[in-house]
Amino acid sequence: MRSFVAGIVTETNTFSPIPTGTSEWERVDRPEDIVPDSSLDGFRRKAAAAGDEAVFGLYAFAMPAGPTVRAAYEGLRDELLGQLRAAMPVDAVFLPLHGAMVADGVDAASIVDDAEGDLIEKVRAIVGPAVTIGVHIDLHCHLTPRMLDHCDALVIYKEYPHTDMAARAEDLYDLIRDAHLGRTAPVMGWFDCRFMGIVPTNPEPMRSFVDAMMAAEGAEGLLSLSLGHGFPWGDVPDSGARMLAVVDAKQVPGDARAHAARVAEAWGRRFFALRHEVVVKPLPLDAALDRALAAPRGPVVVADQADNAGGGAPSDSTFVLRRLLERGVPDTALAMMWDPIVVHLAKSAGVGARLAVRLGGKMGPTSGDPLDLDVTVAGTRDDLVQMWPQVDGSLASPAGDCVHLRVHGLAGAPRQGGDVDVIVTTRRGQVLGVEVFTAFGIDLSAKRVVVVKSIQHFYAAFAPVAAEVIYMAAPGAVAPLMETIPLERADLHKFPWVEDPFAQG
Ligand SMILES: [Zn+2]
């Protein structure tokens, strides 16, 4: 099988103050630059093992932020489509995408809510109906009919934190290869679960639900089962959780599409029945700190979910650091504040320098006010890399040039409780690995409270070293309480706005 593999990947927070412009994109242009244990690596490994030829085109990634500007999206899309035309003839196309990308001004329309649907449709127009198209997306997606209409099979990550990106790419490879060889005839059906929320897959009962999905695959003509959780901060009509079933028309009786829809509905309703048990219930800022301080021992890892760069937030909000300083919380560390100017000043002054800096709070009201701080530069590291644990290996993720500031207190207000260790970076990104602290010699086991700016992806690395994990709902650009998101275009006839939307028919 000869395949073409390429993707354009970002998650659009339509409330983010940061535009996704042309310079926000990072690229993998050559197979030798593919990061081990990434989605692309899953396709590469499978093709190599099967002795297949895979042509790798453009793979572009932008840190989640606001809508992608027209020039960026159309430029990348048309480059990818040009590479596909040059690679023809191919038997299959693999598209590793995100599934929640909103682009501005595409094709003279004012906004395209479903950039992936636009891309997949244009890929189909080039390759025609005989080529098998497989799409691989994040579970924080808006699963749309347009995406499904123009591909043969779609597979979504199952784990949150996303520890299974390469594993699910491998699943999709097998699915598409079997279809290309005529062994199967995949047909898809989906179901709107009428649910919106943040659903980690590590705790029960979600853990057992995901395990049951995986156990069901491969039996009774069911090729693949995916749950798109939805991305609550993308204000589009197709938002929310949707269940997808891919069945084999050669194995199921009667109308395969209707059968797939019935399977999706059965699983979707099973998920919906768990709605009260699977959602995260984050604590308000001070309540989260109270609980952390009441713990018998540290380190208590507190997730500042609302300032998660991975969901489009700036990662420069000051609400939590201000309260840590005002309350005199002892033995505390926090990562990562995005403030390239402060990194520049601290590096220039050098390790050991004592400075007055104005930190964070620069990107808008959701970041809070900047903090004027009395700090000592305790360490600097260029091109810091964090290791994000995966089911099979770990994914190296760049964290930028970082400095370790020992914060003595707010300027002019000597602090009780000792210094706070704060990591500041040039690169906006969320905490994925413990290296953001340990690279500076910070001993997490000696801390009472460790604050990470991340919703959930920190979990795989930090849960093993944490005495307790607390999810916190501070103010911010990805405020984690669904009812506080200022949605206008999303269909809110779903939980938690409606307790049981199915009961109302
Ligand atoms: Zn995600």
pLDDT tens digit sequence for 181-204: 999 999 999 999 999 999 999 999
**296 and 156 within one domain:** no
Distance 226 CA to ligand 1 centre (A): 14
Confidence label for 106 from pLDDT (cuts 50, 70 and 90): low
pLDDT at 67: 94
pLDDT at 105: 64
**399 and 291 within one domain:** yes
Mean pLDDT lowest for which of 96-105, 122-131, 220-229, 297-306?
96-105
d(CA 14, CA 470): 27
Task: Count how many Cα atoms sit within 13 Å of the Cα of residue 354 in the half-sphere of its side chain.
Answer: 4
Q: Cα 469 to the chain's mean position, in Å?
A: 19
**242 and 96 within one domain:** yes
Mean pLDDT lowest for which of 100-114, 170-184, 235-249, 371-385?
100-114
pLDDT at 107: 57
**178 and 133 within one domain:** yes
Distance 380 CA to ligand 1 centre (A): 30
Distance 415 CA to ligand 1 centre (A): 38
Confidence label for 108 from pLDDT (cuts 50, 70 and 90): low
Residue 497 forms part of a structural domain: no
pLDDT tens-digit series, residues 209-242: 999 999 999 999 999 999 999 999 999 999 999 9
Q: Which residues surround ligand 1, an ion (CB under 5 A)?
A: 138, 140
**30 and 83 within one domain:** yes
Distance 480 CA to ligand 1 centre (A): 14
pLDDT tens-digit series, residues 234-292: 999 999 999 999 999 999 989 999 999 999 999 999 999 999 999 988 999 999 999 99
- Residue pair 331/498 in contact (Cβ under 8 Å)? The answer is no
pLDDT tens-digit series, residues 307-339: 999 999 999 999 999 999 999 998 999 999 999
Residue 355 forms part of a structural domain: yes
Residue 503 forms part of a structural domain: no
**Mean pLDDT across the stretch 36-47?**
95
Q: Three-state secondary structure along 142-196?
A: CCCHHHHHCCCEEEECCCCCCCCHHHHHHHHHHHHHHHHCCCCCEEEEEEECCEC
Distance 291 CA to ligand 1 centre (A): 28
The mean pLDDT of the chain is: 95
Q: Is the pLDDT score of 414 beyond 90?
A: no
Name which of 269, 229, 261, 258 is nearest 245 in CA terms.
Answer: 261
Q: Is the pLDDT score of 391 beyond 90?
A: no
Distance 137 CA to ligand 1 centre (A): 9
Distance 138 CA to ligand 1 centre (A): 5
Domain boundary residue, one of 278, 313, 332: 278
Distance 412 CA to ligand 1 centre (A): 41
**121 and 88 within one domain:** yes
Domain containing 95 equals 2-278
Instruction: Give the tokens for residue 407.
Output: 């914060």
- Residue pair 158/168 in contact (Cβ under 8 Å)? The answer is yes
Distance 140 CA to ligand 1 centre (A): 5
225 CB contacts (<8 Å, ≥6 apart)? 213, 214, 216, 217, 243, 244, 245, 246, 263, 267
Residue 496 forms part of a structural domain: no
Q: Is the pLDDT score of 410 beyond 60?
A: yes
Instruction: Give the tokens for residue 231.
Output: 């991305």
**Mean pLDDT across the stretch 21-42?**
93
**312 and 245 within one domain:** no
**153 and 27 within one domain:** yes
CATH classification of the domain holding 56: 3.40.50.2300
Distance 95 CA to ligand 1 centre (A): 16
3-state helix, strand, coil in the chain (%, to 5): 30, 30, 40
d(CA 324, CA 318): 10
Domain boundary residue, one of 278, 293, 325: 278
- Residue pair 98/11 in contact (Cβ under 8 Å)? The answer is yes
Instruction: Give the tokens for residue 66.
Output: 């606001």
**364 and 252 within one domain:** no
In this structure, how many other beta carbons lie within 10 angstroms of the beta carbon of residue 387?
A: 15
**Mean pLDDT across the stretch 395-403?**
96
Residue 498 forms part of a structural domain: no
**269 and 311 within one domain:** no
Number of domains in the chain: 2
Phi, psi (degrees; rounded to nearest 5) at 241: -80, 135
pLDDT at 341: 97
Distance 100 CA to ligand 1 centre (A): 9
**306 and 271 within one domain:** no
Confidence label for 504 from pLDDT (cuts 50, 70 and 90): low
Query: What residue type is assigned to position 413 of the chain?
Result: A
Distance 77 CA to ligand 1 centre (A): 22
Distance 202 CA to ligand 1 centre (A): 14
431 CB contacts (<8 Å, ≥6 apart)? 335, 336, 386, 452, 453, 454, 457, 458, 462
pLDDT tens-digit series, residues 338-380: 999 999 999 999 999 999 999 999 999 999 999 999 999 999 9
Cα angle 330, 332, 336 (rounded to 5 degrees) comes to 155
Q: Cα 59 to the chain's mean position, in Å?
A: 17
In this structure, how many other beta carbons lie within 10 angstroms of the beta carbon of residue 439?
A: 18
67 CB contacts (<8 Å, ≥6 apart)? 12, 14, 19, 20, 102, 103, 104, 111
Determine the angle formed by the axes of helices 256-272 and 206-216, rounding to 10 degrees: 160
Residue 471 forms part of a structural domain: yes
pLDDT at 393: 87
Phi, psi (degrees; rounded to nearest 5) at 101: -95, 125
Domain boundary residue, one of 278, 301, 324: 278
Q: Is the pLDDT score of 19 beyond 60?
A: yes
Confidence label for 479 from pLDDT (cuts 50, 70 and 90): confident
* Burial (CB count <10 Å: 0-12, 13-18, 19+), residue 146: middle
**343 and 262 within one domain:** no
pLDDT at 392: 81
Q: Is the pLDDT score of 111 beyond 70?
A: no
Residue 334 forms part of a structural domain: yes
With tokens 């990662």, the residue in question is 315
Distance 457 CA to ligand 1 centre (A): 9
Distance 453 CA to ligand 1 centre (A): 15
Residue 352 forms part of a structural domain: yes
- Residue pair 288/470 in contact (Cβ under 8 Å)? The answer is yes
Distance 162 CA to ligand 1 centre (A): 7
